[in-house]
Amino acid sequence: MTQGKVYDLVVLGAGPGGYVSAIRAAQSGLKAAIIEKEKVGGVCLNRGCIPSKALIKNAEIVSVIKKASEFGITYDHLKIDYSVAVKRSQEAVSRLTQGVEFLLKKHKVDLIMGRGIIRTPQSLTVESKTDQKEIQAQNIIIATGSRARSLPGIEIDGQLVMSSTEALLLTRLPENLLIVGGGAVGVEFAYIFSSYGVKVTLIEVESSLLPREDAEIGQTLGKAFSKQKIEVKTGCQLGALKEENGKVLAQLLSKDKEETKVFERVLVATGRTPNSENIGLDQIGVKTQKGFIQVGPFMQTSISNVYAIGDVAGKALLAHTAMAEGITAVEKILGKDPPPFDYLSIPNCVYCQPQVASMGYTEKSAVEKGYQVKIGMFPYRANGKAVAIGETDGFVKLVTDAETEELLGAHLIGIDASEHISEMVLARRLEATAGEIARTVHPHPTLSEAIMEASEDVFGKAIHIWKGN
């Protein structure tokens, strides 16, 4: 074993949270290193956020072409090649991966390739194919991420039964596809494949799609998917799977019905499992719960100089959450006394069409917390910009405190919703009230006017909708 350097901070994992932590540490004068056993960028950049959003852009273009006649545009001999979409998505991955490696180099962060194992709270070993070295660390941030979770008794073979990893690289589209799980990953892939003509069946064990969102969001998305010819079965779970003649016989179990259908492929999209095994947590006494590392409000684990961020900490499995958690952890290491991490101000975005974006409390959770709530809603069908561009599905819904007008939550479904949720996050951070948002002049015609009018609707004064008899 060779003896390595001594660092102020060593980050285990070079995903979004990991590389952001290392760069921020270096910007602040700390000597930092990052250990990665596969590729810089983690799941998000290589097998998640970036390639999937590139594919979604292709799907959006295909969807627009399909309704081109509404805009007076017709065509002959249209050719749509999905393999080109996959190639473009991988080019985006390559470009961004190289960009992250460039940034690490320029900030003088040592990138150490290999499998990192924590030996003590101040030391790690890194195992590579040719060497094993020990490095010393004053502080450690664990950012090892997560992987796709399989269902009990269901084997993901990467061929007939896929996870999102294999689905991103699928160049020959099946005639039909079963997607198990109506969360963010499931609905995004349903949109992508359906846009390209695949007959998609999407099952979700809960009563609506996106069950963690406000109830009306899932209901509205279900209706939109029905118009897109996506077969949605809620309150439905997967029973047995059986291979027969190169296809999959899937048993679908609902409350009052059991059926077996044949699919060319099955995509399992039922959540994530933390990558917390075999990295030395037991050896140094880091506490976990169901595999997720337990952390405090500044991302510290049960060992004061060891931190955990991102998916492996299990608070909110989102890339931007991991990035923000990483910055909080570094600020704590620097002694800057950061504020406790506020998960209610973290936006959640789903990039199917219509898009979904939310932050804060749902109406139900706000009531359960004891708030007296007032709701403001505004539909995109009454928004001038939405009508002009032909994208009228969805709404803006604001959940506010009836007494203080405080913004408790915001829930958007519609075109470009992910680009508008940041206004709501900023409003919450600055403690803006519904009245202040309503009095903020929004340019016309824009989709963002729907936020202003939803704020006005909290007081029953939205201009462009009528709720009377």
Q: For residue 401, list its beta bridge partners.
A: 373
CB contact set of 332 (below 8 Å; sequence gap of 6+): 298, 299, 300, 307, 338
| Paired sense of beta strands 32-36 and 2-12, if any | parallel
| Alpha carbons 250 and 242: distance in angstroms, whole number | 7
| Alpha carbons 121 and 285: distance in angstroms, whole number | 9
Phi, psi of 71 (to 5 degrees): -105, 10
The answer to whether 218 touches 208, Cβ cutoff 8 Å, is yes
| Paired sense of beta strands 288-289 and 292-293, if any | antiparallel
442 is catalytic: no
SS3 for 224? helix
Q: Cα angle vertex 238, ends 42, 311, to 5°?
A: 20
Closest CA to 11 of 191, 172, 139: 139
Phi, psi of 198 (to 5 degrees): -75, 135
Closest CA to 270 of 175, 96, 124, 148: 148
Phi, psi of 58 (to 5 degrees): -60, -45
Phi, psi of 360 (to 5 degrees): 80, -155
Q: For residue 251, list its beta bridge partners.
A: 260
Alpha carbons within 13 angstroms on the beta-carbon side of residue 93 total 26
| Alpha carbons 81 and 217: distance in angstroms, whole number | 32
Annotated active-site residue in 77, 107, 444, 464: 444
| Alpha carbons 320 and 326: distance in angstroms, whole number | 10
DSSP, res 406: B
| Alpha carbons 255 and 183: distance in angstroms, whole number | 20
Catalytic residues: 444
